[in-house]
Structure 1
């Protein structure tokens, strides 16, 4: 809701309270003011000018040479490109030295050889959005009424010397979707009175009931309908002050009658609609549900097909408006309209919302009906609109209004004790303090002992229960004034458990390594539930599954991650690395809750590195994913306790799969998908792992021990060993590590050879060994002695010999 500060002053005395101060007070009372816009910020030097002469520019077809009186002695010459500039107009002129929005400074200039001393401005150039500028001025300059004084401040006439407060209203505060609603709120905050608008009318010799009759079939949807008749209307522009107020609220002006209905919408929060009486086609208004397939062309010239869910206003035969949403083109007020039927009605919010949603017609009117309008303000809004039409459209308002009234609205009556108010708020308010707050809110109050009974006006339909009353006291008393207390008793400060800390380390590490976190369904199909399961158990089926694809609880995370890769690959995203931490569900027998274990799984496919500038492309392989895992175990302090053992697992490549063990116990696996599985999923080479994360994170680790950086040089020896093809490098590494203790500090594989120069059934594995003593420099003799011991152990235990 956009609230004009100047307009608000017509209803509440704001003396001594600036717009910024008012915004802070409103925010502190419970309605957030999202911002205060100063409409003329950064603009200066714009006055009303009178175009004395206008002639064609001698050197340009689309420019005019104008002589303009700006109220400063001699008229000035201004070159203007607007197509609608003409002699005799009162226009907005930015003088030389003026500043326009965007810090655009006006200087003397020559345009096609002719001097220009200023600029005749359009509304857009003064900072007004093009979509809310009146249509007749949307393609050119704005023209003031002839009564505008030459030299006067143009921004003041356009109400740009105003500030607009933007209220961020929650659905329960629909009462503030109007200027009067905001006025009641501000008056309560400031402790001041509300001045209501003028609605008195001159009596007419004719009665509205002689011209129209009203019938309502859909009583629940429309319990109150009031029709007023205004004769001898003269359609024309609305007053400039009204146009500028509408524009400040984001509404485009049209003509005096339509603008008045929009003005009342903003002033009272009550949507109205004006029909051209002569185009209605009858003297009858019938409100009913639409017939299936019935048609209506709305004001936006779109033909709408209606259903029985929609409420329509008809002339007894055909629809002339979609109730609460938009009028029909067949009864639109035009320049030829002389007689207006004014509708003021109370429509059911749910019915209006249904029509608005079905037809994609979200309007200011529908928004207010949906959130709730004050039923006791319907007639007052109609009277106010009729008063303005008489005053600014020259109309004659016929006596009375024709009504259908089946509305029964009783104000809410809520009781609460002073003791409860103080107990809930932690305050020591006295009865007179509470009564004074409700007096400011203009709620009727009855006090009997400690009991306060409040009669809530219908404009505040959000107040129904004791807690609502207490909230009103709290916000008007001031949240800042409520005492602050600390909880009594002992409390344990919140923190992450060791398990949670380590899980967070896992996630941070994997994301840092380039894997994206995925969150997949715990429910899967019977076929996929047991695939890749680390621990085989019976599946757990839902009693009433939504579909077979989501009917069984998973035993492994991997099948879902593979679906993620498949989905992305099908959309040309064929290089992916994803991981997930989540629970798997292990059956414990019939009618027994399953055991939940947290697992960690990952899947990668495509390119791991792609440096196009350097021409480097590195596809993923087994060792990429194994390296990620080794880095994770290192982060958790488990490196020396984890081993990889060759394994055969269904769905994985028989020669590129390993079981992962922690202290000799199986905790998961790593490997490449079997080629047939990759083909079924339409994936490139894909590598996966899955771990029982619970076991990993609960594993006890020793405290981190730091070692000093060696001061003495190390000695490196490389050996190439010839062994049987079946011999695993891990076996050799273990022999080397054990035999080389304590001088051997590092050993790793750096080459594997199985070429035609090797004898049948043999292979060559090369290791690099690093010897170091932290206390002294080693001699060749000492290293040779340990090195020969390593070679002897390799020969005896693995049949490994040095390659010749």
Structure 2
């Protein structure tokens, strides 16, 4: 968040230097990353008026301009064509310093002495993006009332100090000039002056005759305010507004868009302006999008929406993606005559999910996704209308529409100063705590020593007494809190390996898009038939419940597979296009029935995946990633048959000689039993106890290699039934310790490869950590590998 000191002075009378403000706000929880001083190096520029323009006698493209700067009349040479007589301009006199440190001196231009320079916006440190086209290509022309002879820096706020703050997501209220200024006021004990707003409302009609607003999904939109502005005059915004926007990292566009951005930066409430005449049916509907509905956004891209995304729509189609970006069809353009102004508050998590799904993040969504205060929406709307009236951009229609279906209740907390002092290790009086909280605009009330606190509506992060303690501590001053050792003997807590591994596995899976599910350990025995468990298989030895509630829950499960398929099926039936789920749970086993001793409990991990982009290699990749994170090595995937899985898309996973689990696509018969015909569902069930046992928690480091590697590529023509994993194992055994890495980079079947054969290409990397390898010894190893593959697998080296 870029914070302008000049802008903050609209709210408080502050005289401290930017560096001191940055330091003090860092001490109360707002880390200042940098301080930049804008325009400080520029000097010697004044306001002048063009008196006369002549052609240069010796240069066709140059003009000789006489400029009055009150003290004297200067002769200045320029090539710019946009300046004319009586224009007010910015003049850099002899000795002036411009942006970038350029110093102005008198200069001879082909026989005519130029006594200074008429400046463009860029030369005085301004971005010309929001200026008219002629000023972007020429000189900066000032308003007609600019006082001739005055120092330009006294006339225009060219100098400013900008602090960049790194804000935490919980402080959504501070993503604005006002929000951070409130914190400065609390620290320095300044009085905060809010904008005074009074509108003329000179529009012709009342708003109720021009637009209707309804919120269909009140769980995603908490408040929607609308205003209509008539007789719009689209053009550049004034220079002072452009300067403030640029200081805070926002480029000017035009006066209407700039006003909405200005208010967003000032108050923290994003606004959006629609071209009113392009709203079909003169109705705004806030609703979830329909599946497959599309909108072309302001960036010119067509985006497909889903039912979880919130849109602003008219009678016919979406006109904006709520809280993120408007639609191209309702964009403000040069011919716009009437504007519909929106000030709304949306559910933050939904905005974040929508932005992530669409790959779209804006300054507005950045604020909405953190959760905004519904109470500031009206202030922001009125502030924008005030600026529009003051700048003469348009006339505000009478009245406004405010749809506010659910007013949020205020949090009320007891101010228990004894508990707060215990939390902080301090001895702060109750009165002092109340004083600090009042500085932060908290409402403090009560009597007889029993006080309650109501946080301001914009402090939605305050929910418990620990939050109050933090607020008191940071304003009281962390450096004022005494250091002390704990008064009681403490012990070091440590989790068991199984819990650490479980946390690591869950974290990795969640980071890869999986969701955890829980299923009952008691199942229906008919589920074993549905997943095709053969008679006599150990999974058929199920332990029955003596008094089951029903047949649906009558035996203890021996595999997690039925439960995970049930959950995948449920999600598919709910129109889920992609499913990634996992469960870590117990299975129960016995050697003989009836049960004579307690059953053996085994912990299993099962994965379930479904989607258009999901195949066997996708679930294999997840397993390999998981095993690598646990530092489990020497794992092999072997083609196998498993009762519940497709015979051609199934593998057993071995860790040395231990069977770690199975992975593959569910058998077509199983899919049919679950009424999932045509759905390709992939599962993997792993021995979690073995994962814990074989995982390596020790991180080992090796020095960076000093000697270069040598690489070789080998391609063998092999029989189709030969497993590549066996070939890799043979190559590793034959190559010995100099082989650092081996990878498959191509498997080819087709032209020049006989029927029933396949070409497999390997990339081999050799390295010694003690010396540089010679070609002769690598060639010798290569010949051994070729010979070994030929002898064991009848593989032929592919020449081309």
Q: TM-score, normalised by structure 1?
A: 0.63
Alpha-carbon displacement from aligned partner over 1:312-345 (angstroms, at most 9, x marks no partner): 2222112222222222233233333332221111
Deviation at 1:148, TM superposition (A): 0.9
Q: Does 1:389 align with 2:507?
A: no
Mapping 1:553-568, distance limit 5 Å: none
Deviation at 1:525, TM superposition (A): 5.1
Where does residue 207 of structure 2 map in the other structure?
208
Deviation at 1:274, TM superposition (A): 1.8
Alpha-carbon displacement from aligned partner over 1:399-441 (angstroms, at most 9, x marks no partner): 3212322132112222241111112212111111111001111
1:95 paired residue among 93, 96, 107: 93
Alpha-carbon displacement from aligned partner over 1:703-728 (angstroms, at most 9, x marks no partner): xxxxxxxxxxxxxxxxxxxxxxxxxx
Change (3 A) 1:147 1:464: same
Where does residue 674 of structure 2 map in the other structure?
none
Q: Does 1:424 align with 2:542?
A: no
Q: Does 1:523 align with 2:632?
A: yes
Where does residue 706 of structure 1 map in the other structure?
none
Q: 2: CA distance between counterparts of 1:438 and 1:162?
A: 31
Where does residue 468 of structure 2 map in the other structure?
469
Where does residue 49 of structure 2 map in the other structure?
50
Q: 2: CA distance between counterparts of 1:672 and 1:336?
A: 70
Deviation at 1:487, TM superposition (A): 5.2
Where does residue 252 of structure 1 map in the other structure?
251
Q: 2: CA distance between counterparts of 1:100 and 1:686?
A: 58
Q: Does 1:137 align with 2:127?
A: no
Mapping 1:311-460, distance limit 5 Å: 311-393=310-392, 395-447=394-446, 451-460=450-459
Change (3 A) 1:126 1:447: same
Change (3 A) 1:245 1:602: closer
Q: 1: CA distance between counterparts of 2:213 and 2:407?
A: 18
Does the Cα contact within 8 Å between 1:232 and 1:339 map onto a contact in 2? yes
Change (3 A) 1:132 1:360: farther
Alpha-carbon displacement from aligned partner over 1:110-149 (angstroms, at most 9, x marks no partner): 2344322222222222223566767663333222111111
Q: 2: CA distance between counterparts of 1:163 and 1:57?
A: 41
Where does residue 149 of structure 2 map in the other structure?
151
Where does residue 190 of structure 2 map in the other structure?
192
| Residue aligned with 2:126, SS | coil
Where does residue 7 of structure 1 map in the other structure?
7
Does the Cα contact within 8 Å between 2:121 and 2:140 map onto a contact in 1? yes
Where does residue 170 of structure 1 map in the other structure?
168
Where does residue 264 of structure 1 map in the other structure?
263
Does the Cα contact within 8 Å between 1:653 and 1:673 map onto a contact in 2? no
Does the Cα contact within 8 Å between 2:41 and 2:97 map onto a contact in 1? yes
2:764 paired residue among 677, 683, 687: 683
| Residue aligned with 1:196, SS | coil
Deviation at 1:375, TM superposition (A): 0.5
Q: 2: CA distance between counterparts of 1:423 and 1:196?
A: 36
Q: 2: CA distance between counterparts of 1:407 and 1:434?
A: 32
Deviation at 1:198, TM superposition (A): 1.8
Moved more, 195-204 or 342-351: 195-204
| Residue aligned with 2:375, SS | helix
| Residue aligned with 2:171, SS | helix
Deviation at 1:460, TM superposition (A): 0.8
Alpha-carbon displacement from aligned partner over 1:452-500 (angstroms, at most 9, x marks no partner): 421011101111121111000000101111112245689999xxxxxxx
Change (3 A) 1:72 1:302: farther
| Residue aligned with 2:256, SS | helix
Q: 2: CA distance between counterparts of 1:220 and 1:170?
A: 25
| Residue aligned with 1:71, SS | coil
| Residue aligned with 1:523, SS | coil
Q: 2: CA distance between counterparts of 1:290 and 1:121?
A: 51
Structure 1 unaligned regions, length at least 5: 494-518, 530-536, 548-586, 611-618, 621-648, 658-669, 690-804
Where does residue 29 of structure 2 map in the other structure?
30
| Residue aligned with 1:375, SS | coil
Deviation at 1:209, TM superposition (A): 0.7
Alpha-carbon displacement from aligned partner over 1:689-711 (angstroms, at most 9, x marks no partner): 9xxxxxxxxxxxxxxxxxxxxxx
Does the Cα contact within 8 Å between 2:708 and 2:767 map onto a contact in 1? no
Calculate the aligned-residue CA RMSD, in Å. Answer: 4.0
Q: 2: CA distance between counterparts of 1:680 and 1:521?
A: 29
Does the Cα contact within 8 Å between 2:82 and 2:134 map onto a contact in 1? no
Alpha-carbon displacement from aligned partner over 1:233-265 (angstroms, at most 9, x marks no partner): 333333332222222222222333222212111
Change (3 A) 1:355 1:63: farther
Q: 2: CA distance between counterparts of 1:174 and 1:125?
A: 36
Deviation at 1:392, TM superposition (A): 1.7
Where does residue 120 of structure 2 map in the other structure?
122
| Residue aligned with 2:234, SS | coil
Q: 1: CA distance between counterparts of 2:731 and 2:155?
A: 79
Where does residue 108 of structure 2 map in the other structure?
110
Change (3 A) 1:293 1:141: farther
Change (3 A) 1:541 1:117: farther
Q: 2: CA distance between counterparts of 1:376 and 1:600?
A: 55
Does the Cα contact within 8 Å between 2:89 and 2:119 map onto a contact in 1? yes
Q: 1: CA distance between counterparts of 2:637 and 2:703?
A: 16
Change (3 A) 1:393 1:258: farther
Where does residue 80 of structure 1 map in the other structure?
78
Moved more, 181-190 or 134-143: 134-143
Does the Cα contact within 8 Å between 1:672 and 1:688 map onto a contact in 2? no
Deviation at 1:304, TM superposition (A): 3.3
Change (3 A) 1:133 1:325: farther
Alpha-carbon displacement from aligned partner over 1:215-234 (angstroms, at most 9, x marks no partner): 22222222321111222333
Alpha-carbon displacement from aligned partner over 1:366-421 (angstroms, at most 9, x marks no partner): 11111222110111211221222222225332332123221321122222411111
Moved more, 425-434 or 448-457: 448-457
Mapping 1:470-485, distance limit 5 Å: 470-485=469-484
| Residue aligned with 2:361, SS | coil
